[in-house]
């Protein structure tokens, strides 16, 4: 359990839920591996040719982190296999891009120039420019970030690109209310924590800012997905592996926290 200051506005079960969510995120983070790869690529003694292979490796690690984090939620595990994969199709890419932006400065601060060259091959120059711009506007509290990632994971749709021809037969399309119960638990937890951390006025301001930034990211991600064949193929390949993983690991999923109700 992470050592967070106990929030007096949260009851005991909510405090446990908050701590376990943070623990789950930190358990599945791939940032140490990503930082190691970047340090290796940017070593002064190494004159390595930058190409999409190295960037693809890092982006795949980001997806792996977010997929594992979401999969460990009991709200995800009660879904059918088809529903689980549908949720990944709808939300995983946008959440991973958000995660990339949030971790951009931490991983790349000492090697920004080379990392920009590295990720331009995948995301394109526009989304890299926006990543730097958005990163500077985000709140510093990582607990809020980790909660928001989970709230967004149970959104009805964070991906405006139709991934397949059967999209309109998706059971979630006409039954998104099934996700609201899960999302409401996490959004209430987020809101209580933000009020404690920032007070009511600043919580409203921070939350509105974060949602606005996230919506902009969806737009830029969609452009990159449509226009960048390297990125398009990478995302498609990741989803194929995600589908296989959902089907293979259906009975082996690790649950690191429990519901509050």
Map out the domains of the chain as residue ranges: 15-162+175-248
Q: State the CB neighbour count (10 A cutoff) for residue 80.
A: 11
Contacts of 216 (CB under 8 A, 6+ apart): 130, 134
pLDDT at 259 over 60: no
Number of helices (H), then strands (E), belonging to the chain: the values are: 10, 0
Mean pLDDT calculated for residue range 93-120: 74
Cα separation, 95 vs 88, in Å, equals 10
Mean pLDDT in residue range 201-227: 84
Q: What is the pLDDT of residue 27?
A: 92
CA distance 204 to 232: 35
Range 132-148 average pLDDT: 78
pLDDT of 156-177, one tens digit each? 777 666 555 555 566 666 666 6
* Integer Cα distance of 55 and 52 in angstroms: 5
Phi, psi of 137 (to 5 degrees): -100, -10
**pLDDT (0 to 100) of residue 3:** 44
pLDDT at 64 (0 to 100): 92
**Per-residue pLDDT tens digits for 47-104:** 656 667 888 888 899 999 999 999 999 999 888 888 888 888 888 988 888 888 777 6
Q: In percent, how much of the chain has pLDDT > 70?
A: 76
What's the confidence (pLDDT) of residue 1? 41
Indicate whether 244 pLDDT > 80.
Answer: yes
Topology of the domain covering 15-162+175-248: Retinoid X Receptor (1.10.565)
Averaged confidence pLDDT in the chain: 78
* 110 against 41, higher pLDDT: 41
Contact call for residues 223 and 216 (beta carbons, < 8 A): no
Q: Range with the lowest mean pLDDT among 56-70, 144-158, 175-189?
A: 175-189
């Amino acid at each position: 359990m992470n050592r967070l200051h106990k929030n007096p506005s949260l009851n005991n079960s909510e405090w446990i839920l908050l701590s376990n969510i943070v623990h789950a995120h930190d358990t599945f983070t791939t940032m140490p591996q990503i930082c190691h790869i970047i340090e290796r690529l940017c070593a002064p003694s190494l004159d390595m040719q930058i190409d999409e292979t190295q960037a693809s490796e890092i982006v795949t690690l980001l997806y792996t982190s977010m997929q594992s984090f979401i999969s460990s939620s009991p709200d995800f595990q009660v879904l059918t296999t088809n529903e689980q994969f549908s949720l990944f199709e709808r939300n995983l890419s946008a959440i991973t891009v958000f995660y990339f932006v949030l971790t951009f400065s931490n991983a790349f601060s000492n090697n920004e120039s080379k990392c920009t060259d590295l990720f331009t091959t995948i995301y394109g120059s526009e989304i890299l420019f926006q990543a730097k711009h958005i990163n500077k506007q985000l709140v510093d509290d990582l607990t809020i970030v980790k909660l928001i990632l989970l709230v967004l994971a149970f959104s009805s749709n964070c991906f405006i690109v139709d991934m397949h021809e059967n999209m309109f037969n998706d059971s979630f399309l006409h039954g998104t209310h099934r996700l609201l119960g899960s999302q409401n638990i996490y959004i209430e937890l987020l809101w209580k924590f933000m009020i404690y951390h920032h007070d009511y006025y600043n919580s409203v301001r921070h939350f509105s800012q974060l949602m606005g930034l996230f919506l902009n990211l969806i737009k830029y991600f969609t452009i990159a997905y449509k226009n960048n064949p390297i990125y398009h193929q990478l995302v498609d390949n990741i989803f194929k592996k995600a589908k296989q993983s959902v089907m293979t690991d259906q009975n082996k999923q690790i649950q690191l926290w429990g519901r509050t109700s």
